[in-house]
């Protein structure tokens, strides 16, 4: 079942961040989720199987400078490795697309590292109509 995430999900969200490759404590996730859930530009959907979260997508509505359009940025997207291949990721993406359309967004973007372990995720995205076009850079600030 897909539903909106809530504060009682922080332990499971922390576990899923670990699945995504970002080890996170429940305390850290509680702090993050408090900020995220209080911002109306963000939305987090989870896939719940018998009160266990097996997937999530965290999104942010953003506005362009170069066009009069908005888009949704998929900030975090993961399905528990034991549940992959069962349509959960596809269901979460469809829910994300619906949320984006309801907000007038005309595009969804996802970031995925170029690491070799992400190749399966890249195939999943392209099979659902996503195009790999961006080159990203980041700088950590002191």
In a domain, 106, yes or no: yes
Report the chain's terminal Cα–Cα distance, integer Å: 41
Q: What is the mean pLDDT of residues 102-121?
A: 77
> Which helix (H) or strand (E) segment is 14 a member of?
helix 10-19
In a domain, 133, yes or no: no
> Is residue 112 within 8 Å of 133, Cβ to Cβ?
no
pLDDT at 134: 64
Instruction: Please give the model's pTM, rounded to 2 decimal places.
Output: 0.83
- Over residues 57-106, the pLDDT tens digits come to 999 999 999 999 999 999 999 999 999 999 999 999 999 999 999 999 99
Task: Band the pLDDT of 120: cuts 50, 70, 90.
Answer: confident
Query: Tokens for 112?
Result: 């995925």
pLDDT of residue 119 exceeding 90? no
Q: What is the CATH number of the domain that holds 39?
A: 3.40.630.30
The whole-angstrom separation of Cα 101 and Cα 36 is 20
Number of domains in the chain: 1
Domain span including residue 27: 2-127
């Amino acid at each position: 079942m897909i539903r909106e995430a809530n504060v009682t999900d922080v332990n499971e969200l922390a576990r899923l961040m670990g699945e995504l490759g970002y080890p996170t404590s429940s305390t850290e996730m509680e702090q993050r989720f408090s900020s995220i859930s209080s911002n109306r530009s963000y939305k987090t959907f989870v896939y719940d199987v018998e009160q266990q979260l097996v997937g999530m997508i965290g999104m942010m509505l953003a506005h362009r400078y170069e066009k009069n359009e908005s888009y949704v940025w998929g900030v975090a997207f993961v399905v528990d490795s034991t549940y992959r291949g069962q349509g959960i990721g596809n269901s979460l993406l469809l829910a994300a697309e619906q949320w984006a359309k309801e907000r007038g967004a005309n595009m969804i973007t996802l970031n995925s590292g170029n690491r070799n372990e992400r190749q399966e995720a890249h195939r999943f995205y392209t099979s659902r109509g996503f195009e790999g076009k961006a080159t990203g850079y980041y700088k950590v600030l002191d």
